[in-house]
Amino acid sequence: MGKKEKSLTRDSQDHGCYNYKMFNFFNRKFKINEVEPPDDVRAAFAEYAGDGSHMSADQLRRFLAEQQGDVDCTVSDAERIIEQVVHRRHPVTRYARHGLSIDDFFHFLFYDDLNSPITTKVHQDMTAPLSHYFIYTGHNSYLTGNQLSSDCSEVPIVKALERGVRVIELDLWPSSTKDEILVLHGRTLTTPVSLIKCLKSIKEYAFASSPYPVIITLEDHLTADLQAKVAEMVTQTFEDMLYYPESECLAEFPSPESLKNRIIISTKPPKEYLEGRGEEAFGMETPDNTAEQESDYRSDSDHEDEDFNECDRKSGQIGSPEYKRLITIHAGKPKGALKDSLQVAVDKVRRLSLSEQELEKAAASHGTHVVSFTQRNIMRIYPKGTRFDSSNYDPIIGWMHGAQMIAFNMQGYGKSLLLMHGMFRANGGCGYVRKPDLLMQKGPQNEVFDPKKAMPVRKTLKVKIYMGDGWRLDFSHTHFDTYSPPDFYTKVYILGVPADNAKKKTKIIEDDWSPVWNEEFVFSLTVPELALIRIEVREYDMSEKDDFGGQTCLPVMELKPGIRSVPLYDKKGEKLKNARLLIRFQHE
């Protein structure tokens, strides 16, 4: 029983006026206060509209350029905004309006599609090598649920691609008859899906949300004959969409721009299993089952080598050359001392995979070596094998060290995945985010960024939370409290390097579907390039856990200055239709 129900019961018993109180509470429940423009919005309107009752297109253009930082905005752009706002707010108006009233102006600021907090288009340089980008990466992309018994399907692959994920992982196993290739999580009870179904779904949806390349990471447990069959399936399915290099090893990765609308393959070259060379030159491992064991259960990523190697030994085959030819990004895991595996070759680039625990150890003992490695090479981090529930880990430690592929269970909802969603809202949501210069630079002595080293404050972010609205349209009137309007408050988190982490909270606004806070918070940031801002709305409950009212996560460096409409998302990262906040962001 929430605080409102308790209050009702107590009042009714004390005063013997149950029916009267019920009537009053239900009246309160359906009372919706009129949303008024905050004082700062009124002041901005007065400053730019002058003495007029309406803001003209040129006045709006000046406001957008001077206060919102939209310096490229033209009068024509402002006219289009006015036209859209008037059409939405006054659809039956018989005459054309060429300006915005104060209420029109306020509503414009609250339209997140017209006044977004971040840029919605690709705006970063996309011509650098792939190693210069954080890449939106999935783990076991075919699983619908947990790691042990859920169904394998093409559906989560499609959902991931539609969200903007650019790296899809498939685990390949032979069927019981050894003549078909299945995708499943090996040594578990997961039900398989055919490889060809997954490949066709990737082809159909690869570029539904982004034109930039899709990378398929394969963990295969196949004989050479089945590898050849995979090569045939891949080439026939993707045809001209498939890219692979002419040379066996790349000296530098191609760029996302050069690979637009292309699909590339990343896996361990099969030749290494029998010949004991190939990737050894890269400092990669030959099979060693003892080093990887963390528990009785290990993910496919943890034991990806042993099955194929055993299969190879029995068959006497050396792996399919057709299969190897299709590999653009050669992959492997550490061999011997980790520091040796992090050596950078001058004439070839590769991908190195580490578990989340291996990354933590590497960060603790060889942090700058990891940063140096990721300047030219790709590092993929995957969840530890004991995450049976498809949960995820903190992605920021990987980003701090330049790791491009932070592999996540996209069905593993939780705060870590919300951070991943936030990071990849950057750069127009295209799935590739240019790594900050500090991770790519070398000093005069070849020194690189040291994540452990304390740095001075380089940016101050001011966040003023004015108000929120829209919950009454997204939730039933009894969702938060049965007998009265909700009591909303907002939490603001900064997540980045440890020195920058912070948390603030507004006061609670009681009994209001459209709460007004008017509170400003100031955050000092040492590495703003790696900082995310997470904003969460909660509804206070005295006797139970506070109710969730929506959240969002955004990269700090992408935040547009000025008064912005910030849409909110549910716990799974799906956008709520109406709930949103009005917030001013200032960078200093």
For the annotated catalytic residues, the residue numbers are 139, 185
For residue 482, give Cα distances in angstroms to 282, 469, 488, 576.
63, 19, 15, 21
Cβ neighbours of residue 503 under 8 Å, at least 6 residues apart? 491, 492, 493, 494
- Dist CA 308 CA 514 (whole Å): 60
Helix residue ranges per DSSP H, 281-355: 289-292, 306-315, 321-325, 338-341
- Dist CA 403 CA 161 (whole Å): 21
Cβ neighbours of residue 412 under 8 Å, at least 6 residues apart? 387, 389, 390, 391, 392
The three-state DSSP-derived secondary structure of 509-535 is ECCCCCCEEEEEEEEEECCHHHCEEEE
Q: Closest by alpha carbon to 366, among 402, 393, 391, 395?
A: 402
| b (16+ CB within 10 A) / e for 493-531 | bbbbbeebebebebebbebbbbbbbebebebbbbbbbbb
- Dist CA 40 CA 582 (whole Å): 11
Cβ atoms within 10 Å of 381's Cβ, excluding its own: 27
